[in-house]
Amino acid sequence: MTEVNIPEAGDLDAMLAAVDQLPFIVAVFEGDELRLAGWNAATRAVVPGRDAIGRPIEEVLSDLVGQQFVDAYHEVYRTGEPIAGRQWRAHLDQPDGSVHEMFATFTIVPWRDPDGSVRGVIGAAFDVTELARTRQAAETEASQLRRRYEQSRDVITELQRELLPAGLPVLPGLQLAASYLLADAETAAGGDWFDAVPRADGLVALLVGDVVGHGITASGAMGQLRAVLQERLDSGASIGEALAAADRFAGRIRAAHATTVCLALLDPVSGELTYCTAGHPPPLVISAAGRSRFLPPTGGSPLGTGGVFPVRQDRLALGDLLLLYSDGIVERPLGGASSIADLTRVATDAAVGRALHDPGATAAERVCGQTIELLVRTGGHADDITLLAAQRVEVVPELVVDLPADPAALRGTRAELGAWLSALGAAEHDAFVLQHALGELTTNAIEHAGSTDKIRVRAVLTAAGRVEATVTDYGGWRAPERQPIRGRGLALTAQLVESLRVEPGEHGTVATVRHPLNRPARLLARFGDAPGTASLPAEMSITELPGDDEARVRVDGPMDAESAVLARQDLLRRSRGGTVPMTVDLTGVTHLASAGVAALFQIAERHHEQKAPLTLIAAPGSPARQILDLVGLPASP
């Protein structure tokens, strides 16, 4: 409806009498001041007790002034163009002093004379309050249900993350990587899992499993099955014995019934491989030259369905990569019949570096990361996807460094240790922890040694994935020429590494540290996380403050194992790699863990190398100040 022509004034009363009986709101306003010419019973019921005929609209509907309705009437009179609104909320004053809330769907049109000039304005509206409130209630309920669903999903997702290994061990002669991607469907986390268990006999157990279903029940069953298998494999059980134990458990727990598992025992030194596919897809082997083959299935039964677990043997050559996976990567909604061929092609391209450019990643990491990204973006995914890759590589020999008792030799030793850890594939955090810990111990050895004494640093990666390193001096114990505050270096070292032992002796002192090496697995809540860049946790923030020629920032929240590495990267980025003077206010840091201390030491060292001042601020008594005082990092109040 765009225009309404009303009869001349003589017929207006008759027309209004008819309009008075209409079951919806009608109001007619006339002239420049939009004086009320008439309204029907439905309108009077909405605004009762008003003697309004002949009065301007601002007096008739004074309570609607400021609610856009009166403005809309004037706009229609001025322009001659209609205005419509849907479910507008209005507050109307009532005779008893209360305020009535209603929702109206309306149309306001010009009232024209026969010559086309605008005589006034007509408004027609429906009271849709019940409809609007029903809609609001439905939206509120839907929002609440959505929040509850998201909260439940978040809880289960976090449960899944806790049940899965956060990282994989760095082992001699083997590079490991894993990725886990949650289902894309409107379901919660599922029952996929992966594991890598180094054993005392030198073998490494590799497995990927898939519990039927999704949600907390599947996640719980997965966690229990993983624990059963991990305990049996760690104690030296064979594949058949470990799967038989899991099979007995699956027979008692309904949610674990028909779980599929691919379990392999690999000798990283010889390449000998024993495996079983218990209802699970067979592993893929990719050679260093880019040739691929699937291992034959063994014919094992899913857990809880028969207890038959035959094994097969194979051998991986140096450079061969073994890929275990769950069926979510091949049963993609848009994958079609070529899904297995697609997996083979994409994984092979990623392994030999023909896919996305990622020079900092190992072949195993490229396969686990790029295979998911490239296949999911074209074929989608309805189920969880789990990939576990293991590549045989050359064993890095132990590190032995002999150096004089001269502080000038420390930098070269640190560089040699860094190169050795990089060759192992140690993660950045672990590399810094060991460099710092051994640097402290070597410094102590130099301070206590005589000028003619020698010091030996020795490090080896054990089959269990732990670096065992010793710092040995061959002189008698001597008081240092300088008298620094003692104990803080050793205290920090003890915090950073898994264990520290110092054994003074008649012919020298031996300090031994042990520390596990792990590389993080990729646990992805959604496909969009796959190629993304890590960001600071929500609990932590780094805020830039006004500064002249220096970087000034404030850090709030915990600097713990999760956030320290990312915080270090962010702070070094802001100081341009330590080349710009920087002030860091740590007063808002709620928890400063050893990982955070390590990050601050590394930042301080970088600034020292670049001769750019670094100032740390922490209020006396704050959590950060207490730790900084303990470890000897100077801080201003």
Contact assessment for residue 123 and residue 73, using Cβ atoms and an 8 Å cutoff: yes
What pLDDT does residue 328 have? 85
- Say if residue 251's pLDDT is above 80: yes
- The per-residue pLDDT for range 488-543, each reduced to its tens digit, is 567 667 777 889 998 887 767 889 999 999 988 877 655 554 444 445 556 778 88
Contact assessment for residue 309 and residue 300, using Cβ atoms and an 8 Å cutoff: yes
Least confident of 225-229, 334-338, 413-417: 334-338
Q: Quick one: fold of 164-392?
A: Phosphatase 2c; domain 1 (3.60.40)
- Say if residue 545's pLDDT is above 60: yes
Most confidently modeled of 59-68, 238-247, 490-499?
Answer: 238-247
Element (H, E) at 382: none
Owner of token pair 């507050």? 91
- The per-residue pLDDT for range 577-629, each reduced to its tens digit, is 777 888 999 988 888 877 788 889 888 888 887 788 899 999 888 888 888 88
Residue 183 CA to residue 164 CA, distance in Å, equals: 16
- Say if residue 478's pLDDT is above 80: no
Q: Torsion angle, CA of 592/595/597/599, rounded to 10 degrees?
A: -120
Q: Between the CA of residue 621 and those of 149, 615, 637, what are the distances in Å? A: 42, 18, 10
Element (H, E) at 167: strand 167-169
What pLDDT does residue 57 have? 94
- The per-residue pLDDT for range 308-330, each reduced to its tens digit, is 999 999 999 999 999 999 988 88
What pLDDT does residue 408 have? 81
pLDDT band at 482 (very low <50, low <70, confident <90, very high): very low
- Say if residue 11's pLDDT is above 80: no
| CATH number, domain 4-127 | 3.30.450.20
Question: What does the pLDDT average to over 174-189?
Answer: 75
Residue 637 CA to residue 618 CA, distance in Å, equals: 5
pLDDT band at 363 (very low <50, low <70, confident <90, very high): very high
What pLDDT does residue 524 have? 66
Q: Where are the domains of the chain?
A: 4-127, 164-392, 399-518, 533-631
- The per-residue pLDDT for range 277-310, each reduced to its tens digit, is 999 999 999 999 999 999 999 999 999 998 899 9
- Say if residue 424's pLDDT is above 90: yes
Least confident of 119-123, 413-417, 436-440: 436-440
In one-letter notation, the amino acid at residue 232 is: R
What pLDDT does residue 236 have? 95
What pLDDT does residue 522 have? 79
Mean pLDDT of the chain: 85
Question: What does the pLDDT average to over 158-167?
Answer: 72
Residue 181 CA to residue 190 CA, distance in Å, equals: 10
pLDDT band at 336 (very low <50, low <70, confident <90, very high): low
- Say if residue 485's pLDDT is above 70: no
- Single out the residue of 55, 56, 49, 60 nearest to residue 94, CA to CA: 49
- Say if residue 483's pLDDT is above 50: no
Bigger pLDDT: 423 vs 493:
423
Question: What does the pLDDT average to over 350-376?
Answer: 88
Q: Between the CA of residue 505 and those of 129, 287, 470, 472, 511, what are the distances in Å? A: 89, 51, 14, 10, 11
Question: What does the pLDDT average to over 224-246?
Answer: 96
CATH 3.30.565.10 describes domain 399-518 = yes
Residue 351, φ and ψ in degrees, nearest 5: -65, -40
Contacts of 19-25 spanning 24+ positions with Cβ under 8 A: 24/124, 24/125, 24/126, 24/127, 25/104, 25/106, 25/123, 25/124, 25/125, 25/126, 25/127
- Say if residue 353's pLDDT is above 70: yes
Bigger pLDDT: 99 vs 479:
99
Classify 533-631 by CATH class: alpha beta
What pLDDT does residue 486 have? 44
In one-letter notation, the amino acid at residue 196 is: A
What SS3 state is found at 526?
Answer: coil
- Say if residue 42's pLDDT is above 60: yes
pTM of the complete model: 0.66
- Say if residue 400's pLDDT is above 50: yes
- Say if residue 456's pLDDT is above 60: yes
Beta bridge partners of 485: none
Least confident of 111-115, 480-484, 580-584: 480-484
Q: Which two tokens stand for residue 204?
A: 């490494």
CB-based burial label for 601 (10 Å; 0-12, 13-18, 19+): buried
What pLDDT does residue 594 have? 77
Q: What percent of the chain has pLDDT over 70?
A: 85
Most confidently modeled of 255-259, 355-359, 575-579, 603-607?
Answer: 255-259
What pLDDT does residue 155 have? 62
What pLDDT does residue 355 have? 83
Q: What percent of the chain has pLDDT over 90?
A: 47
Contact assessment for residue 316 and residue 300, using Cβ atoms and an 8 Å cutoff: no
Contacts of 62-69 spanning 24+ positions with Cβ under 8 A: 63/91, 63/92, 63/93, 64/90, 64/92, 67/91
- CA 31 to chain CA centroid, nearest Å: 64
